[in-house]
Amino acid sequence: MPHPSREIFIFRHGETDWNREGRFQGHVDIPLNDHGRAQAEALAEKLSPHGLEAILSSDLSRARETAEIVARRTRIPVFTDVGLREAHLGGAQGLTVEEIKRVHGAEVLERWKSVAVSDADVRYPGGETGAEVIERVFASLEKFIATTSYLRFGVACHGGVIRRVMQNIIPQSDAEPQKRVLIPNGVVYKILWEAKTGWNVPSLEPLGSVHDTVGKSIHTVV
């Protein structure tokens, strides 16, 4: 039986060149740039007081390298899981916001970014829906909880994944959608898992100041 409670620090990878250019990455494996590596070092500093015992990471290199930089500072193991990848964005991958609007239309872009429950079924052509992303991400998290004894661990992943996780945990309806969470590169949120009550988010505010890790550059493109 898993321990009845876990503390989880879920964070977004550092900056990539495509983030800087405003291009949607999805499953395309774009590495960190030098600024992204510096953000990961700052993230390691921010997380070091919290006693992480391990990090579970997306297998995409931008998340995995971020995890490895944090892990070196704290001397903890890194595990990877393909289930934590960013959403597959199909025909939107590699495009900027303006290109997506031109090729696929503004409506699909707005619905993809929406926090409304009724928009969980939207997808770009050839891509995943938000509901599909949530299903695989929580399967990976719950498998890690069920098969390890780590009580406090990090999750290195992607902006779209964090946004969907927060949407899923916090009660909402179409009548009262939650506010949109901040997902710049290097952002980190604390979430909780309890055996009896399931998932909980103590706060919609990032852990510490967003500017502690991202400096003057805030990119929200996935």
Which residues form the catalytic set?
A: 13, 86
**Sequential DSSP letters for 93-152:** TT-BHHHHHHHH-HHHHHHHH---GGGTT---TTS--HHHHHHHHHHHHHHHHHH---SE
Q: Compute the distance between CA of residue 198 and CA of residue 107 in angstroms, rounded to an integer.
A: 34
- The neighbour count for residue 201, using CB atoms within 10 Å, is 17
Only one residue has tokens 């949120």, namely 189
Ramachandran assignment for 189, one of left (phi > 0), alpha (psi -120 to 50 degrees), beta (any other):
beta
Contacts of 205 (CB under 8 A, 6+ apart): none
**What are residue 153's DSSP bridge partners?**
8, 54
CA angle, 89 then 123 then 121, to 5°:
140
